[in-house]
Chains A and B, each alone.
Chain A
Amino acid sequence: MHFSFLSLLRAAFSAHQNWPEQWRSPEPKSSYDVIIVGGGGHGLAAAYYLASEHGIRNVAVVEKGWIGGGNTGRNTTIVRSNYLLEESEALYDHALKLWENLSQALNYNVMFSQRGVMMLAHTVHDVQSFKRHLHANRLAGIDAEWLTAEQARDFCPGLNISPNIRYPVVGATLQRRAGTARHDAVAWGYARAASALGVDIIQNCEVTGIRRGPDGAVEGVETSKGLIRAKKIGVSAAGNTSVIMDMAGIRMPLESNPLQALVSEPLKPIISCVVMSNTIHAYISQSDKGDLVIGAGTDQYVSYSQTGGLQITAHTLDAICELFPTLRRVRMMRNWGGIVDNTTDRSPILGKTPVPGLFVNCGWGTGGFKATPGAGHLLAATIAKGEPHPIAAPFSLDRFARGRLIDEAAAAAVAH
């Protein structure tokens, strides 16, 4: 069914009792043209773009838990594209452009809000490197502005710009096109649109092996629901990518670490934009429900525990309390961890693998949510054509052996 004012009105008159299921939950068929491993935002987006842009509709998304239950449901929903290097700028701005029209394209409100992302500078070094980023962004056609401390406070009232704090705010960069989106709605919207085009979304179906033929090419995946055959497999499994790729005998340059976030009790609107500080390590925005959404750091060790140490969140709250003294008595409601897959150069890996028919989308580390539409779009194009999409080409797996790293200094501070 199509969401419109009329459909809302009709449902309102039946007391919202008759909304149909938004996507089908079929049993897996014995074979598909393409299998996507991982039903997060990236995987569902890839399935959607395979069906909508490349006419490949015989697609399954297999997810070991529930869709959007991994990092898609655990991140701080920040979307921005003000990266430093040309390759990253092209990649993240490709995603941002898709975000801008995503609700219309999916006929599903992903609540994309371009409220602006402000990154605070606290030291002379910050000012110099941020201005370098800013000029690089402008050359790439990405909007970026420099704000003085006073302008930063005016843009986000409540920000403490006193020169007498440990790390005073001396300026900020602002990307006005950046903002936030509703993370669950992104997964649900893509699932609904993909399902309507014929994609099978198979939840509670864990991949336990990758079946390969005598020529080494993939033949399908072994799952907890049996063997599912496909000549092409796209792996989009975030923190578990190393585990899945190991089933095909491929070692990945990834380390999985817990990344934590937390939310406060709901408040009246108080923070109108996204505020980030890489130096003292704080990320904060306010959801439409009123919770303050705060991003904490990564734990230093490899872990799949989906939880982390409390000292990490406490460290972030120290910084938040210094930047926003008005929030000092706000209570925190929940904190949690997600497992992020970090590469050494803090850039993702997107493209072909040494195994014929096996494609991978991983290594997004602490910043994968912002790329959701772009990553899905590029993975779909790469799977459909069998060759990397030009924007994805620099992010190949073999860049590590060739020494063509994309050392992204403007990746989230938590990644460094």
Chain B
Amino acid sequence: MLLITCPYCGPRPEIEFAARGEAHVARCAPDATGDAIADFLYFRANTKGYLAECWRHVSGCGRFFNAVRHTVTDKFVTTYKVDDPRPDLAALVAEETAR
């Protein structure tokens, strides 16, 4: 089970949380057509590596927040509030390769 640090409540076990998939997904424009609508509805980042994703602390504070996790090790790099800017994933990869 993952240990997830809610930015509001601190570290809690994974069973308190619901994974909501890729973070920072923007709604498509009202006049969008086929491909753009499909992209918004059905296409999500499925990255092997660092992934910015959205979680919700359903059995806790109930709030949504974002996290960066490595999808091979399942290790969380950071969790942050929804309106915080997206962390620089490219920099994280560079840091990882430099190590």
Contacts and interface: CB of A to CB of B under 8 A. Distances in A.
Are A and B co-members of a single complex?
yes
A403 B39 CA distance: 12
Interface in B51-93: 51, 53, 69, 71-74
A300 B18 CA distance: 7
B73 A305 contact: yes
A81 B59 CA distance: 38
Most A CB within 10 A of own CB, among B19, B46, B47: B46
Contacts of B43: 251-253, 400
A400 B38 contact: yes
Given A303-B71, A310-B1, A401 B38 contact: yes
Most A CB within 10 A of own CB, among B18, B34, B38: B38
A250 B18 CA distance: 28
B53 A302 contact: yes
B25 interface: no
A242 to B, nearest CB: 4
Interface secondary structure of A, over-half rule: loop
Interface string A244-273: 000000011111100000000000000000
B62 to A, nearest CB: 17
Contacts of A401: 34-35, 37-38
A402 interface: yes
A159 B56 CA distance: 38
A391 interface: no
A304 interface: yes
B14 A254 contact: no
B72 A255 contact: no
Interface secondary structure of B, over-half rule: mixed
B97 to A, nearest CB: 16
B21 interface: yes
A305 B38 contact: no
B48 A243 contact: yes
A107 interface: no
A260 B33 CA distance: 38
Nearest to A257: B19
Contact of A256 (B18, B35, B46): B46
Nearest to B36: A401
A223 interface: no
A302 B21 contact: yes
A326 B69 CA distance: 41
B14 A402 contact: no
Contacts of B69: 301
A343 to B, nearest CB: 8
Contacts of A400: 38, 41-43
B71 A302 contact: yes
B12 interface: no
Given A401-B34, A401-B38, A302 B51 contact: yes
28 contacts: A240-B48, A242-B46, A251-B43, A252-B43, A253-B43, A253-B44, A255-B21, A255-B44, A255-B46, A256-B46, A301-B19, A301-B53, A302-B53, A303-B74, A304-B48, A304-B71, A305-B71, A305-B73, A309-B1, A309-B2, A311-B1, A311-B15, A344-B41, A400-B38, A400-B42, A400-B43, A401-B35, A403-B34
Interface of B: 1-2, 14-15, 18-19, 21, 34-35, 37-39, 41-44, 46-48, 51, 53, 69, 71-74
Q: What 5 A-B pairs are tightest by C-beta distance, nearest first?
A: A242-B46, A300-B19, A301-B19, A401-B38, A309-B1
Interface of A: 240, 242-243, 251-256, 300-305, 309-311, 341, 343-344, 400-403
Given A300-B18, A301-B69, A301-B74, 12 more contacts: A242-B48, A252-B43, A255-B44, A302-B46, A302-B53, A304-B72, A305-B72, A309-B1, A344-B42, A400-B38, A400-B43, A401-B35
